[in-house]
Amino acid sequence: MPHVTLNNGVQMPILGFGVFQVPAEETERVVTDALAAGYRHLDTAAAYGNEEAVGKAVKASGIARDELFITTKMWVNEKGEEGAKAAFDTSLRLLGLDYLDLYLIHQPFGDYYSSWRAMQDLHRQGLIKAIGVSNFYADRLVDLIDHNEIVPAVNQIETHPYFQRADDQALMTERGVQIESWGPLAEGRNNIFSDPTLSAIGEAHGKSVAQVVLRWLTQRGVVVIPKSSRPERMAENLAVFDFELTGDEMDRIAKMDTGASIVFDHRDPQTVSAVGGYRLG
């Protein structure tokens, strides 16, 4: 599995397994299957409600901790630094771990400056190997970087053929932040799996549309965390490093970009209120 090197030297597998929208009662089985398929990078979040199930699957797998890269995310925090540390403690306990490989601020809302200060402290204590953010647009990302000690190692954002984020990636590269895609397969929207451009490229390589998209992203240096509940799809999503897209194929996919979110826009006032106002539990 290829890795990317984060800004503090930590090695992160470029392809992982996400559990967004996987019900808690199914998560242990799904993660067990993913680990059996060969995944060693797992991505969850407090807001997903399945951290405990992920932890049970990890423990039952018998895989050495240092062979795994585990990410979770802090939900919107309005209780200051102590509240952020309490949220971290809860996630670590539910996962059954002694440390996290990557901890992210899930949304750029609420008192995320206090969250970042708390995460910097936890990082200094060795409880988190790398800290980062999710869903931060360029302005908020730069503001956070310019006014804090630690530069986020990762920014996990909506990235797929219809919303390609090339300018965001260029800025992150300049600032030393690794781009990571959530929703790499556009959550199945826009009939992506029957898209004629992607289908034609897949046929040329004997690969599925999903494999073409994951290869396109990883070939750009984007970390991806596709989700699947089916073992055969899990294995298929891993099999993307035995072919390479040509420059012409990369250009054809580039032309699919709409430049806008197709899931939800973090700059829309109604979205800000709805997401920022949601409370766990």
So which residues are the catalytic ones?
Answer: 48
Spatial CB neighbours of 34, under 8 Å, sequence gap ≥ 6: 17, 42, 234
CB atoms within 10 A of CB 193: 15
Q: Which residues contact 187 (CB under 8 A, 6 or more apart)?
A: 263
Which residue's entry shows tokens 């260029």? 170
CA distance 147 to 175: 13
Sign of the C-alpha dihedral, residues 186, 269, 166, 40?
Answer: negative
Quickly tell me which residue has 């949601």 as its tokens: 278
**Contact status, residue 128 vs residue 105, Cβ threshold 8 Å:** no
Q: What span, in angstroms and rounded, lies between the C-alpha atoms of 67 and 177?
A: 23
For residue 17, the Cα-to-chain-centroid distance in whole angstroms is 9
Report whether 70 contacts 97 (CB < 8 A): yes
First CA to last CA distance, the chain: 36
CB 161 within 8 A of CB 256: yes
CA dist., res. 170 & res. 168, Å (int): 5
DSSP strand pairing (11-13 vs 3-5): antiparallel
